[in-house]
Chain A
Amino acid sequence: MNPTVPALETVNLGKSYGRKWGLQDCSLRLPAGRIAALVGPNGAGKSTLLRMAAGITRPSAGKVEVFGHSPQQQTVEALRRIGYLDQERPLYRSFRVEEMLRFGRQLNPRWDDVIAHNYLRQLGIPTDAVVGRLSGGQQAQVALTMCLAKRPALLLLDEPVAALDPIAREGLMQILLQSVADSNTTVLLSSHALSDLASVCDYVIILSASRVHLADDLDYVLASHRLLVASGVHHSAETPAGVVVISARHSERQTDLLVRVEQPVNDPEWRVIEPTLEEIVLAYLREQQLPDAVNSNMVSRWSLRGEQ
Chain B
Amino acid sequence: MIWASWRMHRTIYLVSIAIAAVLAIWLYISGTLEASAWTSFTSHNCSPSYPGSSEACMAGLTGTGSFSTVNVWLCGSLPAILGLVLGVPLVAGEIEQRTNRLAWTQSITKNRWLFSKIGVGATIVVGIVGAMAPMIWWWTDAARRSTHIQPSNFDISGFVIVAYALFAFMLGVALGALIRRTGWAFAACIPVFVLVRFVVRLYVRPTLISPTTRSTSVNAPISSVNWQLHSGFVPIGHSAPTASETWSSNSQVIQNCQGLNSNTGKPALSTAYCEKLHHLHYVLQYHPPSHFWSLQLAESAIFLGAALFLLGITVLAVRRWRT
Query: Which residues of chain A come closer than 8 Å to B1, judged between CB atoms?
Result: 106-107
The smallest beta-carbon distance between B110 and chain A, in angstroms, is 5
Residue of A nearest to B11 (CB): A94
The smallest beta-carbon distance between B106 and chain A, in angstroms, is 4
Tell which of A56, A58, A79, A93 has the most Cβ of chain B within 10 Å: A56
A150 sits at the interface (CB 8 A): yes
Are A150 and B322 interface neighbours, CB within 8 A?
no
Q: Interface residues, chain B, CB within 8 Å of chain A?
A: 1, 3-4, 7-8, 10-11, 97-111, 320-323
6 chain-A/chain-B pairs, Cβ below 8 angstroms: A76-B107, A79-B107, A90-B99, A94-B10, A150-B106, A150-B107
Are B98 and A57 interface neighbours, CB within 8 A?
no
Q: Interface residues, chain A, CB within 8 Å of chain B?
A: 51, 54-58, 74-76, 79-80, 82-84, 86, 88, 90-95, 99, 102-104, 106-110, 143, 146, 150
With A74-B104, A102-B3, A104-B106 already in contact, the answer to whether A86 and B322 are too (CB < 8 A) is: no
Are A84 and B101 interface neighbours, CB within 8 A?
yes
The smallest beta-carbon distance between B270 and chain A, in angstroms, is 76
Assuming A51-B101, A74-B104, A107-B1, what are 10 further A-B pairs, CB within 8 angstroms? Answer: A51-B323, A55-B104, A57-B322, A74-B109, A76-B109, A79-B109, A88-B98, A93-B97, A107-B106, A150-B107
Query: Which residues of chain B come closer than 8 Å to A95, judged between CB atoms?
Result: 7
Are B109 and A75 interface neighbours, CB within 8 A?
yes
Are A110 and B99 interface neighbours, CB within 8 A?
no
Are B108 and A90 interface neighbours, CB within 8 A?
no
The one of B10, B101, B111 in contact with A56, judged by C-beta atoms closer than 8 angstroms, is: B101
With A51-B323, A106-B3, A106-B4 already in contact, the answer to whether A80 and B99 are too (CB < 8 A) is: no
Are B323 and A79 interface neighbours, CB within 8 A?
no
With A74-B110, A91-B99 already in contact, the answer to whether A54 and B105 are too (CB < 8 A) is: yes
Are B99 and A56 interface neighbours, CB within 8 A?
no
With A90-B101, A95-B7, A99-B7 already in contact, the answer to whether A56 and B107 are too (CB < 8 A) is: no
CA distance A92 to B103 in the complex (A): 10
Query: Which residues of chain A come closer than 8 Å to B101, judged between CB atoms?
Result: 51, 54, 56, 84, 86, 88, 90
Are B107 and A109 interface neighbours, CB within 8 A?
yes
Query: Which residues of chain A come closer than 8 Å to B11, judged between CB atoms?
Result: 94
Please give me the 8 A-B residue pairs with the lowest Cβ-Cβ distance, nearest first: A107-B106, A80-B107, A90-B98, A84-B105, A108-B107, A90-B99, A86-B101, A90-B102
